[in-house]
Amino acid sequence: MSLFYNLCSSSSGNATFVGDREGGLLFDAGVGIRNFSKWLLAQGLTPDSVRGIFLTHEHSDHIKGASVIAKRHGIPIYGSEDTIRCLLDTGRLTGEEEIHIIRQETHLDGFLVTAVPTSHDSPGSVCYRVDTPDGKSVGICTDLGYVSPMILDLMSGCDHLLLESNYDEEMLKNGPYPYYLKKRIASRTGHLSNSQCAETIGRLIALGTRSFSLGHLSEHNNLPDLAYDTSCGYLALLGLTPGRDYTLDVLGKVNDGKVVNL
Ligand SMILES: [Zn+2]
Ligand SMILES: [Zn+2]
């Protein structure tokens, strides 16, 4: 049985495992090697069962453990051409890793991974849909800024979706960040707010996606309850009830031990 297991999700680190007890793929590696092993083992999964690390983009909260983990466990790294070039140019990949440039569709050990570009301010940034060997599908959608029709199309009907709910608009407006940073986060090349996340979920439920994890919450501009209430409050206005029409949880900053069976 396939499962979705988020190791960590926030502006300071992101990594998600999709696969089964025999093995699977890691999406982003913004996690130190010790926690990578510890958190996988906590669910009976082993680091050596990870068959590929798919990077969404080159920001450090998504890649900081990639090189060390890939080399230690012999796991190949996959990413867009621009992401890989940027990481090699800046020395964050050393070239000793096994590196593959993704195509729009990449096949690996029975998994199909489909990538779509995002508008996020990082060269070659993508989000992913993964179709598992047993016919399940999961979307990994963080660092969006804007949900393009292509993203919406790709995520339609997924069995589970990790969707960014980065900031509360009021908290960002009144928070400690300098003006330029507030502007960047709220722009189309930044992140999705709780309200934008809620609207996206509403559209996706109409398209057949029913199970969601909210993630990549800002540590300064959001709270888990606020993210949850904003989405559920908006969905209630559409006549949608949690448990009946959809399921939704909010991912913790670091591993909270929850596995979603697909
Ligand atoms: Zn990020
Ligand atoms: Zn980013």
134 in helix, strand or coil? coil
Which ligand number lies closest to the CA of residue 30? Answer: 1
Which pLDDT value is given to residue 226? 98
Share of the chain above pLDDT 70, in %: 99
Residues, beta carbon < 5 Å, ion ligand 2: 59, 143
pLDDT above 70 for 256: no
pLDDT tens digits, 78-97: 999 999 999 999 999 999 99
Across the chain, mean pLDDT equals 96
Question: CA angle at residue 191 from 187 to 194, to 5 degrees?
Answer: 110
> Residue 1 C-alpha to ligand 2 middle, in angstroms?
31
Superfamily of domain 3-261: Ribonuclease Z/Hydroxyacylglutathione hydrolase-like (3.60.15.10)
Query: What torsion, rounded to 10 degrees, do the Cα atoms 214, 46, 59, 212 define?
Result: -10
> Residue 214 C-alpha to ligand 1 middle, in angstroms?
13
pLDDT tens digits, 10-53: 989 999 999 999 999 999 999 999 999 999 999 999 999 999 99
Q: Which of 235, 231, 236 has the alpha carbon at shortest distance from 250?
A: 231
Q: Where are the domains of the chain?
A: 3-261
> Residue 134 C-alpha to ligand 2 middle, in angstroms?
31
> Residue 185 C-alpha to ligand 2 middle, in angstroms?
10
Q: Output the DSSP codes for 40-99.
A: HHTTT--GGGEEEEE-S-S-HHHHTTHHHHHHHHT--EEE-HHHHHHHHHTTSS-S-S-E
Which pLDDT value is given to residue 253? 87
> Residue 253 C-alpha to ligand 2 middle, in angstroms?
16
